[in-house]
């Protein structure tokens, strides 16, 4: 008599492992994108101060209108 687990249990385990992997991957990807965007914003503001001021003013105006 072999004690093989039912196929349903195996499918559920693989589904849970896959879902956890997807969630962890999206979290890691989001943090990398956040850092990249932040760095690009800093470089933009240092290199193009007048344009950065216009962008900042626009964002603050949009924030007030909410």
**Whole-number percent of the chain with pLDDT over 70:** 88
CA 15 to chain centre: 22
Could you state, in order of their start, the residue ranges of all structural domains in the chain?
23-64
Q: Who has greater pLDDT, 23 or 45?
A: 45
Write down the pTM of the prediction.
0.47
The pLDDT value recorded for residue 47 is: 93
pLDDT in tens, 32-43: 778 888 889 899
To the nearest whole number, what is the mean pLDDT of the chain?
A: 82
């Amino acid at each position: 008599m072999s004690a093989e687990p039912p196929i349903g249990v195996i499918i559920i385990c693989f589904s849970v492992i896959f879902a956890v992997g997807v969630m962890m991957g999206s979290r890691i990807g989001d943090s990398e994108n956040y850092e990249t965007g932040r760095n690009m914003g800093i470089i933009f503001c240092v290199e193009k101060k007048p344009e950065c001021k216009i962008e900042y003013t626009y964002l603050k105006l949009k924030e007030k209108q909410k």
